[in-house]
């Protein structure tokens, strides 16, 4: 299935017109990412075209996945599950490492962060899905109500009389969907900082947004600006590196020399590796920013100092505490007289 040839709908810039589904999806997203970088003024002339940026973001996260899902639903379901798991684990590890740096001003080894996340992998995976499950359940209930009350003459009057209830349920769906969209990136930091379950992380993330909306908006806007600056900087360095390598290597290539297909394929993989490194840097920066936003929101809403966050592994994980020494296993009372 994954190696089945698929026709491209993305133009000649994606390479060959036929390829396996996995390769087609990766190439299409690579093209979208390169166009996004050019829209930001990274790979081309400086000066961002924000309408084009929005369009390419929509292509990356909406249109391209939807097109592939319509053509190859089983592949996208399996591939999407794998990507969701990898993103959940990677974001958890990065947020854990960032949280120890923010709260305790010390570095956490990758192995320790991975061990911490592996013990809670189910929560990192399921926490963002729980509000989505609630939306799905309420939506299924509304669909069932439409099936029962609005398909039989006469009964539809009863459904119309109770339409206020359907509107309330629609309001619940809208609010939960909006909160999920805003709080989605606060959930991995909540799990990493608190070391608790997904219900606590969801409640904290929703509450901070509901009770500190303007403060969250300021932090979110600042994070977006910072991430945009990092994107331009990292993308410019990557583009200059590629241009420098192509220019100086091209000086030694004879004009009539033809490269083999294998050589072109290997060079393409190296260029894709550069794009992957850029994406990894931006993803790491984004996780660190969201961890800092969560810690600041937690301190503002709960009044909890940074160094009093609980990691869930050991008592002195976040703040250095004086070691206590016990003289015995059992305290024996003194007998006077």
Residue 272 pLDDT = 79
Of 87, 118, 113, residue with least CA distance to 99? 113
- d(C-alpha 293, C-alpha 311), whole Å: 17
As given in the structure block, the two tokens for residue 237 are 């360095």
Helix (H) or strand (E) holding 277: helix 261-302
As given in the structure block, the two tokens for residue 186 are 């606060």
Residue 174 pLDDT = 92
Residue 11 pLDDT = 41
Report DSSP state, residue 20: E
**Owner of token pair 């996208």:** 76
pLDDT category of residue 18 using cuts at 50, 70 and 90: low
> What average pLDDT does the structure give for the chain?
77
Write the pLDDT tens digit of every residue in 79-106: 888 888 888 888 888 888 888 787 777 7
Lowest mean pLDDT, pick from 26-30, 111-115, 123-127, 293-297: 26-30
Residue 12 pLDDT = 42
Pairing of strands 18-20, 5-7: antiparallel
pLDDT category of residue 62 using cuts at 50, 70 and 90: confident
Please give the sequence-ordered ranges of beta strands (E in DSSP) within 5-46, or none if there are none: 5-7, 18-20
pLDDT category of residue 25 using cuts at 50, 70 and 90: confident
Residue 255 pLDDT = 66
Residue 210 pLDDT = 86
- Is the pLDDT confidence value at 237 over 80? yes
pLDDT category of residue 78 using cuts at 50, 70 and 90: confident
Write the pLDDT tens digit of every residue in 239-256: 888 888 888 887 877 666
φ, ψ of residue 154 to 5 degrees: the values are 95, -50
Q: Measured over all CA atoms, what is the biggest interatomic distance in the chain, rounded to whole angstroms? A: 108
Number of residues that make up the chain: 337
List C-alpha distances in Å: 166 to 119, 142, 153, 158, 175: 40, 7, 19, 12, 14
pLDDT category of residue 171 using cuts at 50, 70 and 90: very high
pLDDT category of residue 305 using cuts at 50, 70 and 90: low
Lowest mean pLDDT, pick from 109-113, 121-125, 324-328: 324-328
Q: What percent of the chain has pLDDT over 90?
A: 5
Residue 102 pLDDT = 79
- d(C-alpha 309, C-alpha 299), whole Å: 10
Of 4, 33, 41, residue with least CA distance to 21? 4
Residue 49 pLDDT = 59
């Amino acid at each position: 299935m994954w190696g089945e040839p698929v026709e491209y709908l993305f133009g000649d810039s994606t390479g060959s017109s036929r390829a396996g589904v996995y390769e087609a999806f990766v190439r299409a997203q690579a093209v979208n990412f390169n166009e996004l970088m050019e829209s930001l003024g990274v790979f081309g002339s400086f000066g961002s075209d924000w309408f084009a940026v929005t369009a390419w973001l929509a292509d990356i996260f909406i249109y391209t996945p939807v097109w592939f899902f319509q053509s190859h639903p089983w592949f996208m379901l399996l591939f999407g599950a794998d990507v969701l798991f990898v993103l959940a684990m990677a974001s958890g590890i990065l947020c854990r490492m960032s949280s120890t740096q923010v709260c305790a001003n010390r570095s956490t080894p990758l192995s320790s962060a991975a061990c911490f996340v592996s013990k809670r992998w189910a929560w990192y995976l399921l926490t963002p899905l729980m509000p989505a499950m609630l939306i799905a359940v309420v939506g299924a209930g509304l669909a069932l109500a439409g099936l029962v009350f609005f398909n039989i003459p006469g009964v539809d009057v009863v459904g119309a009389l109770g339409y206020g209830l359907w509107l309330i349920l629609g309001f619940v769906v809208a609010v939960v969907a909006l909160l999920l969209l805003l709080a989605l990136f606060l959930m991995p930091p909540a799990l990493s900082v608190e070391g608790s379950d997904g219900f606590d992380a969801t409640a904290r993330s929703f509450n901070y947004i509901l009770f500190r909306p303007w403060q969250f908006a300021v932090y979110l806007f600042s994070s977006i600006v910072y991430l945009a600056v990092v994107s331009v900087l990292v993308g410019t360095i990557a583009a200059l590196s590629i241009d420098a390598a192509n220019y100086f290597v091209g000086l030694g290539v004879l004009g009539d020399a033809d490269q083999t297909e294998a050589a072109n394929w290997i060079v393409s993989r190296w260029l894709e590796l550069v794009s992957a490194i850029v994406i990894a840097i931006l993803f790491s920066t984004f996780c660190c920013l969201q961890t800092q936003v969560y810690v600041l929101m937690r301190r503002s809403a709960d009044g909890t100092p940074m160094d009093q966050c609980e990691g869930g592994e050991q008592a002195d994980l976040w703040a250095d505490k004086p070691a206590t020494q016990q003289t015995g296993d059992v305290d024996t009372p003194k007998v006077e007289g």
